[in-house]
Amino acid sequence: MRTALSLTGVAFGIFCIIGVLATVGSLERNIQNEVNSLGSNTIYIDKWDYSGGPDQPIWKFRARPTPKYEEADMVRKRAVLLDDISYLMQTQSSISHNDDVLQSVSVYGINEAQMVIQPLSFDQGRFFSPSEFNAGSNVCLIGFTNAETLFGTAERALGKHIDIKGKKATIVGVIKKEGKNMIGWDYDNCIMLPYKFCKQLFEEEWSNPILIAKGKDGVTPAALMDELKGIMRQIRRLSPTQEDNFSLNSVEAFSKAITGFFATVNVVGAIIGGISLIVGLFGIANIMFVTVRERTSIIGLKKAIGAKKGSILFEFLMEATILCIMGGAMGLFFVWILTLILSGPLKFPVYISIPMLIATIVICVAVGVLAGIIPASQAAKMDPVAAIRSK
The pLDDT score that the predictor gives to residue 229 is: 94
Per-residue confidence band for 319, with pLDDT thresholds at 50, 70 and 90: confident
Q: Kindly state the average pLDDT of the residues 11-16.
A: 78
Per-residue confidence band for 55, with pLDDT thresholds at 50, 70 and 90: low
What is the CA angle 335-340-344, rounded to 5? 150
**Per-residue burial over 243-271, b = 16 or more CB atoms within 10 Å of its CB, e = otherwise:** eeebbbbbbbbbeeebeeebeebbeebee
Residue 2 pLDDT more than 70? no
The pLDDT score that the predictor gives to residue 180 is: 65
Q: β-pairing, 139-142 with 167-175? A: parallel
Per-residue confidence band for 256, with pLDDT thresholds at 50, 70 and 90: confident
| CA nearest to 158, candidates 132, 178, 139, 179 | 139
Structure confidence by residue, pLDDT tens digits, 115-124: 988 888 999 9
Instruction: Give percent of the chain with pLDDT exceeding 70.
Output: 90
Q: What is the CA radius of gyration of the chain?
A: 32
- The more confident residue out of 374 and 24 is 374
Residue 19 pLDDT more than 90? no
Q: What are phi and psi of 97, to 5 degrees?
A: -140, 115
> Could you give the maximum distance between any two Cα atoms of the chain, in Å?
103
* Helix/strand/coil for 39: coil
Per-residue confidence band for 8, with pLDDT thresholds at 50, 70 and 90: confident
Cβ 181 vs Cβ 97: under 8 Å: no
- Which long-range contacts (C-beta less than 8 Å, at least 24 apart) are formed by 154-161? 154/123, 154/124, 155/124, 157/124, 158/124, 158/125, 160/97, 161/97
Structure confidence by residue, pLDDT tens digits, 103-158: 999 999 999 999 988 888 999 999 999 999 999 999 999 999 999 999 999 999 99
Structure confidence by residue, pLDDT tens digits, 195-239: 999 999 999 988 999 999 999 988 888 899 999 999 999 999 999
What mean pLDDT, rounded, does the chain reach? 85
